[in-house]
Amino acid sequence: MTPAKAATFICFFIYCQTLVAAGPARVERVVYLMGTRVTLTVEEDQRALAVGQLERMVQSLEATEAALSTWRAESALSAVNRHPIGQPVRLSSAVCSLWSGLTTWHRVTAGAFDPTVGALSEVWGLRSGGRRPTTDELESALMSTGLKHFEFDPLTCRLTRLADATLDAGAFGKGEALRRLRSEFREHAPWRVDIGGQIAVSDAPPARRWRVPVAHPSRRAESAVELWLDTGSLATSGVSERFFEVEGGRVGHIVDPRTGQDVFRTGSVTVWHDDPFAADILSTALFVMGIEKGFRYAETHGLAVLFLAPSPAGEHVPPDARPSPAFVEKFWPSGDGVAGSATALSDAPQVVP
């Protein structure tokens, strides 16, 4: 039994419970799904009810994984990727309902988000320890990337691969899983779910807020800023935690679908959106765009976005922070900047205008 499976097995039976004085019990469960660690927390007056809700929430996540995870060969998305070229395949309802959203976000981000990066992910070895492709390999993978290689019939929910192109849920799968949770468990006890760093919370009264740290852009284990989240989802993209040492250099785990190159740069981008699906996609797309273009995009579209970058003054200086106006309005309405209503876990980041 692998460590991940063992942890899942243990967590199936063991729940961590923290009692809050004169308040509900907080019950937590940890599982491993979609290739990452998932932490689910529920607050409920009765522990048995919290445990039951957690179990149903895990089942929802497992259903999304069964449909979308390309980490699993038997998933619906993997089956699409294996289907013969030129032959239409009927999509499951879970995948069919996503298609219009995927194509819309691809268009409105001018290709910075693309769900068809399977060939690029493979050629860079993003799921096998990383590698540097040859020029010919990269050109071939780039030619196999793009929605132009897919033909979709919305009336029959049939998708046809026109070339050897493959779908990858890396930039939207977690968001879709969290979106389904918010839909299915809207009227349940307050909850918080963290899927590999993307966090979503239930819609709760204003008095119920969840403490969410935002990681330092260079040191993932450290927190740079603490936010209080009462609704929606926060998704962060960066390469401080996931990168590969290859041939004396580093390969990031995010690729630019427009050029085929891996994106390895310092800094991170955190996106808040009421829709976790959108937050997941946008955090990747804005990271691909870079701080300058990404910030202009966020301003133009009224997005709540926070860019963090290591300070040029040195490693031990708090990171530079560049929040969009919508982000300030959402998390620091007092107008005091990053140190406003947020509580810094270290010193407050330096705000870059």
Residue 340 has pLDDT above 80, yes or no: no
What is 203-351's CATH superfamily? ApbE-like domains (3.10.520.10)
Handedness of CA 68, 281, 349, 262 (dihedral sign): positive
Span 165-175, mean pLDDT?
94
Per-residue confidence (pLDDT) for residue 287, from 0 to 100:
94
For residues 160 and 88, what is the distance between their CA atoms, to the nearest angstrom?
4
**Model confidence over 72-88: pLDDT tens digits?**
888 889 999 999 999 99
The stretches of 19-163 forming alpha helices (DSSP H) are: 47-68, 76-82, 93-96, 99-108, 118-123, 135-143
Average pLDDT in the chain: 84
Span 224-243, mean pLDDT?
85
Query: Nearest Cα to 311, choosing from 282, 347, 336?
Result: 347
CATH code that applies to domain 76-161 = 1.10.3980.10
Residue 352 has pLDDT above 50, yes or no: no
Look at 69 and 234; give whichever has higher pLDDT.
234
Q: Give the domain ranges of the chain.
A: 1-68, 76-161, 203-351
Look at 67 and 346; give whichever has higher pLDDT.
67
Per-residue confidence (pLDDT) for residue 249, from 0 to 100:
62
Query: Nearest Cα to 116, choosing from 88, 66, 152?
Result: 152
Per-residue confidence (pLDDT) for residue 126, from 0 to 100:
78
At position 2, the amino acid (one-letter code) is T
Per-residue confidence (pLDDT) for residue 333, from 0 to 100:
81
Residue 51 has pLDDT above 70, yes or no: yes
Span 107-131, mean pLDDT?
89
Residue 22 has pLDDT above 90, yes or no: no
